[in-house]
Amino acid sequence: MKFELTILGSSSATPIFQRNPTAQILNINEKIIMIDCGEGTQQQMLRFGIKFNKIDSIFISHLHGDHFFGLVGLLSSMNLNGRVKALNLYCPVALKEILDIQFLHSGSVLRFPLNYFFTQTTSPQKIVDTPDYIVETIILNHRIPCTGFLFTTKKKLRKIIKQKVDELNIPKQYIDLIKKGFDYTDSQGKTHSAQTLTTEADAPRSYAYCSDTLYSLDYLHSIKNVNTLYHEATFLNDMSQRAKETYHTTALEAGYLALTAQVNQLIIGHFSARYKDVNLLLLEAQSVFSNTKLAIEGKTYRV
């Protein structure tokens, strides 16, 4: 099952030349999901050729502007481009008020259903459950209420070995049963076990998104053993005091979290505008957790 992450923005609070505020695209089995939507996200989508109307759901972690100021423009453009398909929006409750007042004064009436699902920030919730994946919130610790998101694919049925099915000329109607573990008996009465006709299903995979947070082990249980952890790394560790004051994480701390949570891969982003060269942040995180990558705008990562 495809499970890919594309970075649209990697800057923290203020954009700098060539670095935009946070936004990401997840592709889970061709379901297109946006996570956060800083100013200029629609321009980034144009730049990287991502179609607005393919987006199925949008998840907003919190109401600092660098994580949502691009949303109203994106929704307006979807509307002007004739979208009719419903869009699911998972967000803090006040976002509805913020969007409504702007639509009101611009005389805009959305021609597509915008379905709001409000996140709460006291304990992790399962907020989405589809045949392919689930989404749970991660309770982060920021200056204002903030949730991360954990996307986990579901374990699918075992995979048919096509060559064997063809050899035995197994009728189509048996295939799903075999995938589910039923043995197959052929016309000569010979039984072929489901195990021999199939291979193991893909293991579930998981992506944890931790947008803005003070370094803490409080949410370790939510990110434990994930395949890919995206974590903010706003500062180098020599600014750990500043990170604490602003409820942010340093690159070193992000590395520690990845190590402690035993994740496969760490992607760091949300870089402070003060760092023209973000490789210093990468090296610092890698000094603790070697499989760390930088969030590079336009780049796609396998989860």
Residues near its own copies (CB under 8 A) are 13-17, 20-21, 39-40, 42-43, 46-47, 63-66, 69-70, 72-73, 76-77, 80-81, 92, 94-95, 97-98, 101-102, 105-108, 143-144
Is residue 66 among the annotated active site residues?
yes
Do you know the residue count of the chain? Answer: 303
Q: How far is the CB of 76 from its own copies (least distance, A)?
A: 5
Tokens of residue 197, six digits: 């006709």
- Give the residue among 239, 238, 246, 248 at the shortest CA–CA distance from 215: 248
Q: CA angle 266-39-61, nearest 5°?
A: 50
Count of helices and strands (H, E) across the chain: 10, 18
Query: Which residue's CB is nearer to its own copies, number 13 or number 58?
Result: 13
Query: Which residue's CB is nearer to its own copies, number 20 or number 153?
Result: 20
Tokens of residue 202, six digits: 């893909």
DSSP letter assigned to residue 203? P
Q: How far is the CB of 48 from its own copies (least distance, A)?
A: 10
Q: How far is the CB of 299 from its own copies (least distance, A)?
A: 18
Query: Which residue's CB is nearer to its own copies, number 116 or number 182?
Result: 116
Tokens of residue 141, six digits: 């610790």
Catalytic one of 56, 66, 100, 176: 66
- Contacts of residue 7, Cβ cutoff 8 Å, sequence gap at least 6: 24, 267, 269, 295, 296, 297, 298, 299, 301
Q: How far is the CB of 141 from its own copies (least distance, A)?
A: 14
Q: How far is the CB of 23 from its own copies (least distance, A)?
A: 13
Phi, psi of 196 (to 5 degrees): -80, -20
Query: Which residue's CB is nearer to its own copies, number 38 or number 255?
Result: 38
Query: Which residue's CB is nearer to its own copies, number 97 or number 167?
Result: 97
For 178, half-sphere exposure in the C-beta direction (CA atoms, 13 angstrom radius) is 24
Residue 145, CA distances (Å) to 135, 203, 254 in order: 18, 33, 20
Q: How far is the CB of 39 from its own copies (least distance, A)?
A: 4
Query: Which residue's CB is nearer to its own copies, number 67 or number 158?
Result: 67
For 3, half-sphere exposure in the C-beta direction (CA atoms, 13 angstrom radius) is 18
Give the active site residues: 66
